[in-house]
Structures are given as structure tokens and as C-alpha cells.
Amino acid sequence: MLSFLKQNGSTPADEASNWTARLKRGLARTRNQLGKPLAGLLGNGKIDDALYQELENTLICADMGVAATQYLLEKMRARAQRENLHQAAELRSILRQSLLDLLAPLVKSIDTSGSRPFIIMLSGVNGSGKTTSIGKLAKYFQLQGKSVLLAAGDTFRAAAREQLQTWGKRNNVTVISQESGDPAAVIFDAIHAAKARSIDIVLADTAGRLPTQLHLMEEIKKVKRVITKAEPSAPHENLLVLDANTGQNAVNQVKAFDDALGLTGLIITKLDGTAKGGAIAAIARTRPVPVCFIGIGEKIDDLRPFDAGEFVEALLA
């Protein structure tokens, strides 16, 4: 992580502070939907049933979902009763801590030291930001001193292959691709190329698909099987890229792809463009797949490891 922060002559502390500020700006829409209304509710009023009802409405409107909302309200009610609290303002720190307790188990860092090449398979629906995220991940790992190879497994969309090749040129990394053909075969070839060249990381792109497209979900299962055939311990990480704008639908995507592939982590993109960032809480309560990275913009360093404390502070600031 430190190597990722040491750039442009700034210190890690400077870059971390800069990222925190950017994260807060990036979460502005969700904060307007969630943080500001909560600040108003948890002001000078008293704790009563009407307050809890307003809190429930606010949390659900921020796409936290029923399960996460009930969890948070139960935490607040229980502690308020236990500590004999009466002022709404006294619930602020309880909500903050309860949300942190909910999200903290999702935090996961990726340790690539166990295998070489370390193979990361990425999937997601069309438009989730998958290919762009791969380009950013390539830079992230390069700044850790790792060599990277990209596998253009999205053989259905020519623009995806070209986009990945553009990222490859930008990061000066090799892209294994074909103009058409079987996506599993492309990734199979990429893994063998990585072994021959002693590459550290393989990032395997796959075509975007909806969970309801059953034939395509079967195809991506095949891609995973072929990866395992090329390297028995792989894929070492199986990441789903989610567009934060999908809100509660993100939970359905996680369930479907997890059932099909056995996900090991999530990348949540476009948090800067949505008021639905609360969906991470819904995922935590209903299908707690770890969140490895979050994205808040188009710049190459706008994808960073997920930090629950940092996220909650930016969300409720």
C-alpha cells in the first residue's frame, strides 16, 4: 500500500490525506442522501418511535436495504435502552460505530505472494467498469513492484479488447488477446504466457453478462474451470466488479455471481456518481462477500483498497 501512495514526490501521509479528501468528495451524493438527513434527525430532538421511523426511512432511501436497516436500528435501540439515553444526539456515535461494525468484516487485502503467477479473474455485468478497473489494478500492482499481464477474455465486444490494449500501452504491460474465439482459450494462453515470462500477476477480463443470461453464466463457469486446468490453484482471486449506481440490484448480482463462481471479493466502482453507496451495508448483511477495492473516479489512482473506517467517516461526515 505504501508503494502505491509514494508518487509525485509526496509523502504517504500527504497522499493518504489527499485520498481521504477525495473519498469524501466522491461520496458527496450518498452523503447528501444519508449523512445530512441523519445529522438533522440526530440533532436536538428526543428519542422516540417517530425518530426511529424517520431513521428507518432515511437508511432505506440510501439503499441500505431492510436487513441492514433493521440491524442498525436494533443496535441503536438496544444501546439506548441499556444506557438510558433520551436525546437524539446521543445516537450519533452509536450509529457510526454500528455501521463500522457492520462493514469492518468486509475489509480484505489481496496477498499475491502465495503464487506466481497470481491469477485474478474478474467478472461483472455490462457497464460496471470492469475493463477500466483492470487497467487501474494493473497500475496498482505495478506500483508494488509486480509485473502484470492482462488477458482480454471479453472476446464478444471488440471495444473491450481495444480498451484493454489501451490500458496495456499506458501501463506498459502485455495484453494477450484474439480478435474472436473462445474467451477461456484466451485466458488459458495468457496463463501459460505468464508462466513462460515469469509474470507475477495475471488479470483476466471476461465478457459482461447479466445473471439472468443463463447460457452466459454457464460460459463463465467454464472460464473458471479452464483457469483451474491451466493452474490447479487458480483463480487465486475471483472478483466481481459492481457499479454502485445499481443500488439494491447490486445485492442480487453478488448473490448470482457468488452462487455461480464462488466469489472471493468485490470491486465497487462509480461511488462518486451515485446516492446509493449505502448498498455496501446491504451486501454486508445479506451476502457478506469481502470488498477489496472501491472506485470514486476515472483517474488511474481513483481505485483504492476498501477501508471501512475511512468509508464510514466520509459517509457520515
Give how far the C-alpha of residue 216 lies from the chain's centroid of Cα atoms, to the nearest Å.
22
pLDDT of residue 8: 53
- pLDDT confidence of residue 3: 47
Does residue 51 carry a pLDDT above 60? yes
Which pLDDT band, with edges at 50, 70 and 90, does 57 fall under?
Answer: very high
Query: Under a CB-based contact definition with an 8 Å cutoff, are residues 205 and 122 in contact?
Result: yes
Is residue 10 very low, low, confident or very high in pLDDT (cuts 50, 70, 90)? Answer: low
Lowest-confidence segment of 105-119, 147-161, 227-241, 298-312 by average pLDDT: 147-161
Of all helices (H) and strands (E), which one includes residue 204?
A: strand 201-204
Is the per-residue pLDDT at 23 higher than 80? yes
> What's residue 12's pLDDT?
54
Residue found by looking up cell 461483472 in the block: 124
Residue 1 has pLDDT above 60, yes or no: no
Task: Catalogue all structural domains in the chain, each as residue range(s) with its CATH number.
Answer: 28-106 (1.20.120.140), 118-307 (3.40.50.300)
H helices present in the chain, as ranges = 2-5, 12-26, 28-33, 35-41, 49-61, 65-82, 92-103, 130-142, 158-171, 183-196, 214-230, 249-261, 279-286, 308-316
pLDDT score at 5: 45
For residue 231, what are the contacts with CB-CB under 8 A and spacing of at least 6?
A: 115, 117, 119, 191, 195
- The confidence score (pLDDT) of residue 117 equals 95
* Arithmetic mean of pLDDT, 174-197: 89
**Residue 15: per-residue pLDDT:** 61
Please tell me which residue, 84 or 12, carries the higher pLDDT value.
84
Residue whose entry in the numeric block shows the C-alpha cell 487501474: 136
Residue type, 241: V
Confidence (pTM): 0.90
Poorest-pLDDT segment among 57-61, 70-74, 146-150: 57-61
